[in-house]
Amino acid sequence: MKRAIVFGATGGIGSEICNELAEAGWSVYVHYRHQDKLAQAICSELMDKYPMQDFIPIKLDFDIDDSELEKFVANLLPVNAVIFSQGITKYGFLGEQKLDDISNILNINLTVPIKLTKIFEKKLITQEFSRIIYLGSVYGEQGSPLEAVYSATKAGLSRFCQAYAREVASTNLTVNVIAPGAVDTKMNAIFSAETLQDLKSEIPTGRLATGKDIAFWVKNILQPESRYFTGQTIYVDGGWLI
């Protein structure tokens, strides 16, 4: 049975990734930080639709000790795909950010994904088929003012992915980044209707992406035929910035 773990599965993009993977025959660990009811509801709905597959809610706050990360991975059933769709941002000038907020963004978006990659590696490189995908951002290519730390984490993911993919390229593990433009999820809920309208008018396709627009690419990288595709960042931005 092919099984994936989707970190940030309670997010607007992560939940669509779960739907797409379930439809494609995957069993899924549905990761969450605090939205336990939503994770349970996603699993129940998918179990009703695809009763021959497993859907397991699993909690992990990325703000924990390294030893807990190791225990977390050791307790999982084997997985063929690890998808990092968790993430946070904080808008504002760098000079006005709290140092704790800077640490949090770096930790949740970049440091813990790298540590988890290291911990998962031993199992992933011995399998006949393994995939890692990180959710990056167009801001990893075009730094965004008021999101300087977030931009740095997304650029960091793309370069980490490029280097690490080469380290493991002789195994059956591929490593890639899907980098969205603006997606209609709660991450953008802080913006007023007027700001969102202005944003839409800047995007050549005239709208924000849906979670499904992004999940489509994740699903395709998880196909066995994508085995020669590694170390890449795919920008999915409706022609907006890249």
Selection from 44, 46, 76 nearest residue 60 by Cα: 76
Which H or E run includes 57? strand 55-59
From the list 56, 187, 196, 203, which residue makes contact with ligand NAP (rule: CB under 6 A)? 187
3-state DSSP assignment of residue 201: helix
Binding part of the chain for ligand NAP, among 49-57, 69-77, 167-175, 177-185 by CB under 6 A, reads 177-185
| Residue given tokens 């084997």 in the structure block | 78
In angstroms, give the least distance from the CB of 228 to ligand NAP: 25
Q: With 0-12 CB in 10 A as exposed, 13-18 as middle and 19+ as buried, what is 223?
A: exposed
In angstroms, give the least distance from the CB of 127 to ligand NAP: 25
Binding part of the chain for ligand NAP, among 60-68, 115-123, 159-167, 169-177 by CB under 6 A, reads 60-68
- Check if the beta carbon of residue 154 is closer than 8 Å to that of residue 136: yes
Binding part of the chain for ligand NAP, among 28-36, 42-50, 75-83, 123-131 by CB under 6 A, reads 28-36
In angstroms, give the least distance from the CB of 162 to ligand NAP: 18
Separation between Cα atoms, residue 40 and residue 30, nearest integer Å: 8
In angstroms, give the least distance from the CB of 46 to ligand NAP: 16
Is residue 156 part of the contact set for ligand NAP (CB under 6 A)? no
